[in-house]
Structure 1
Amino acid sequence: MRMHRRRALAWITVVALLGGCGSAGNSPAADPRDGLRQQADGALTRYDQAVRAAGGAPFVPVGELTRQLGDWEPANGSYKEALSAGRVEAASTLPGAPTSAGTIVWADGNRRDVPLISADRALAQLRAAGTGDCSGCTPLKLTGARLTTMTVPTTRGPATAPAWEYTLAGTAVRLARVAVDLSAIVRVTPPPWDAEHPHEGLAIESATTTTARSELTVTFTGVPGPGSKPCGADYSAEAVESDLAVVVIVIEYRHAKDEACGDIGAERSATLTLSRPLGERAVLEVTQGRPVQLTITG
């Protein structure tokens, strides 16, 4: 069933009209945000599908599911490249999947029981997540594993999740990998790349809200200065909403068109008002529809 969607627009400062609004004759100009709204609708559809595929599970981790515990010793400089490439092997038999479910606990006290996987399956996922070419690296050797917990950023704030912690040969560094079965994790698939119709917009990087209010503040990389200065810009934001998520569109108002400016970016923010408090909904960026980390301040 298609989720009902609403749009809420909150202006921060408007110092210039959006470019390209003029047109010949009396025909109304197309709103340059329409393409971004279509992208947002697509992102909401993919997210809704991902949630249903996970059985309605609200566990949506943000970022990597593997964590390095400790720093590499000077003599083990090559270990970093090996880990990044997923060159990790078990040197001994690893524990199997626990017979009982694990529990994810959020900072607000909400809990959810989830199925767990074996240390071998978690290791396979760790290897599959590797990137880069390190064919000449000596693989890291896992010497053991124990079931523990780790703090994971999620779309509902930080959560404590079951994790496998691995010991390694030749180093005090340990590795941790979320032990939750992928069937209980919401995984968003970005849209395919299309060179003729590239994904547009500014991708937000994080979001902050409160439990009771509808204001949402997002951060992103923009130009350093305000729109009142050369090469500067002001920003506003709007949200396309569903019952499960909101996609934030950032709108930029440049000081002037065609200015010769550097490419240095700076952290900027914008605040918008949703149609209702965020609740357990996820916040997604508009370019690929990926969830971003959420902070709940009270």
Structure 2
Amino acid sequence: MRTTASRTVSRTVQLLIVLGLLSAGCGADKAGSSESEPAPNTRPRALEVAKAWDGSPAADTWREGYYPMGDPVQLPEDAFHNAADKEAYTTQNFVLRGDLPKTPEKDAKVRWRDGDSLTLPLVGARAAYEKLGGDNGSGPRLTVTGAKLGEMTLATSRGPATVPAWLFTIEGYDTPLKRVALGSSKQPKPPIGPAGSVSGALWDLDKLVEVSADGRSVTVLAHHGACDDGPAVDVLETDGSVVLSGYWVGTRDGVCTLQLLSKKVKVALDRPLGDRVLLDAFTGAPVHGAE
């Protein structure tokens, strides 16, 4: 087990309660100081999760499905021209100045490099545009002038795949913004339930951000609060799974606000992730990215 310096409503409520207790206990005479606390023993729960998943029907279902492990959006090659355009994308603020095509077909295929494929319902151009953010309000905007159906390469739980994508024409840019035109397969029911009380300081992870090109590291968004020194993630690797255990480290004295924060944490692996299931120790479920 290594330490490499969480998303349910109930977990958020629990976190706010804990942060409230920490805030109430902050001492004014030591404002701004930080106390080191021992890391929780995450191994027992991680072993339970790995044992439940390895060789299970749920793991077989995961390996047979389509589950994105990368960003569903690929930006234009010359993005971004200026700070306003970057802000517009970050705040998901777009405006449509043209027509979007109607979905030409109901289904489309995901194709993997080993020749396997899977047919899934196609997401229409309008629905894909809304996932980008749509007409989201005032402030800087990116202008979409049209779209056509194409393809893009995306990291998945079964390795890189060629997937259908909507290619949105962005005013002022020479190449399109691509957005995956498929939803993921139905999630398998985890063979183990979530962890119990927060007494062990174990927290659920927010989401997967990236799997490195060589599969030797994963980057996740991990939850923490305003009264600590940030999140940490332990990793347990088996032949069939990689279990990530998120928690926060340190306790800060002084005035503390009640916030649920997230921060990117890069986790190194002993060997490439491959088709092993990436799991959250707290939820007992796979960790995956945005759709």
What is the alpha-carbon distance in structure 2 between the residues aligned to residue 40 and residue 153 of structure 1?
Answer: 23
Is 1:248 aligned to 2:243, yes or no? Answer: yes
Letter in 1 for 2:79: W
Residues 40 and 240 in structure 1, CA contact (< 8 A), matched pair in contact too: no
Q: Which residue of 2 is the match for residue 34 of structure 1? A: 44
What is the alpha-carbon distance in structure 1 between the residues aligned to residue 98 and residue 137 of structure 2?
Answer: 22
State the Cα distance separating 1:166 from its structure 2 match. Answer: 0.3
What is the alpha-carbon distance in structure 1 between the residues aligned to residue 73 and residue 154 of structure 2?
Answer: 10
Is 1:92 aligned to 2:98, yes or no? Answer: yes
Instruction: State which of 202, 210, 217 in structure 2 corresponds to 1:199.
Output: 202
Q: Which residue of 2 is the match for residue 229 of structure 1? A: none
Deviation digits for residues 169-208 of structure 1, max 9, x if unmatched? 233352111111x364659999799754433699997589
More helix by share: 2
Q: Which residue of 2 is the match for residue 169 of structure 1? A: 171
Residues 149 and 160 in structure 1, CA contact (< 8 A), matched pair in contact too: yes
Name the count of aligned residue pairs: 213
Q: For residues 57 and 197 of structure 1, do their structure 2 counterparts lie closer, same or farther at Cα, with a shift above 3 Å needed?
A: same
Q: For residues 66 and 41 of structure 1, do their structure 2 counterparts lie closer, same or farther at Cα, with a shift above 3 Å needed?
A: farther
Q: For residues 169 and 271 of structure 1, do their structure 2 counterparts lie closer, same or farther at Cα, with a shift above 3 Å needed?
A: closer
Q: Which residue of 1 is the match for residue 125 of structure 2? A: 119
Deviation digits for residues 181-239 of structure 1, max 9, x if unmatched? x3646599997997544336999975899xxxxxxx85369xxxxxxxxxxxxx99443
Letter in 1 for 2:158: R
Written as runs of structure 1 = structure 2, the 5 A alignment for 1:1-298 is 33-38=43-48, 40=50, 48=58, 58-72=65-79, 74=81, 76-127=82-133, 136-180=138-182, 182=183, 184=185, 186=187, 196-199=199-202, 206=211, 218-219=216-217, 237-239=236-238, 241=240, 246-248=241-243, 268-271=268-271, 282-284=277-279, 286=281, 289-291=285-287
| TM-score, structure 2 normalization | 0.54
What is the alpha-carbon distance in structure 2 between the residues aligned to residue 147 and residue 175 of structure 1?
Answer: 12
Residues 102 and 124 in structure 2, CA contact (< 8 A), matched pair in contact too: yes
Q: Which residue of 1 is the match for residue 24 of structure 2? A: none
Provide the secondary structure at the position in 1 that maps to 2:179: strand
Provide the secondary structure at the position in 1 that maps to 2:102: coil
Letter in 2 for 1:248: V
Provide the secondary structure at the position in 2 that maps to 1:123: helix
What is the alpha-carbon distance in structure 2 between the residues aligned to residue 85 and residue 33 of structure 1?
Answer: 38
What is the alpha-carbon distance in structure 2 between the residues aligned to residue 92 and residue 136 of structure 1?
Answer: 19
Unaligned runs of 5+ in 1: 1-10, 13-19, 21-30, 129-133, 210-216, 222-234, 251-264, 273-277, 294-298
Residues 61 and 185 in structure 1, CA contact (< 8 A), matched pair in contact too: no
Unaligned runs of 5+ in 2: 3-37, 220-233, 246-264
Letter in 1 for 2:278: V
Letter in 1 for 2:217: T
RMSD of the alignment, in Å? 4.9
What is the alpha-carbon distance in structure 1 between the residues aligned to residue 195 and residue 44 of structure 2?
Answer: 20
State the Cα distance separating 1:64 from its structure 2 match. Answer: 2.0
Letter in 2 for 1:106: W
Q: For residues 95 and 194 of structure 1, do their structure 2 counterparts lie closer, same or farther at Cα, with a shift above 3 Å needed?
A: farther
Letter in 1 for 2:75: Q
| TM-score, structure 1 normalization | 0.53
Q: For residues 85 and 287 of structure 1, do their structure 2 counterparts lie closer, same or farther at Cα, with a shift above 3 Å needed?
A: farther
Deviation digits for residues 256-288 of structure 1, max 9, x if unmatched? xxxxxxxxx99744259xxxxx99653335466
Q: For residues 137 and 191 of structure 1, do their structure 2 counterparts lie closer, same or farther at Cα, with a shift above 3 Å needed?
A: farther
Provide the secondary structure at the position in 1 that maps to 2:68: coil
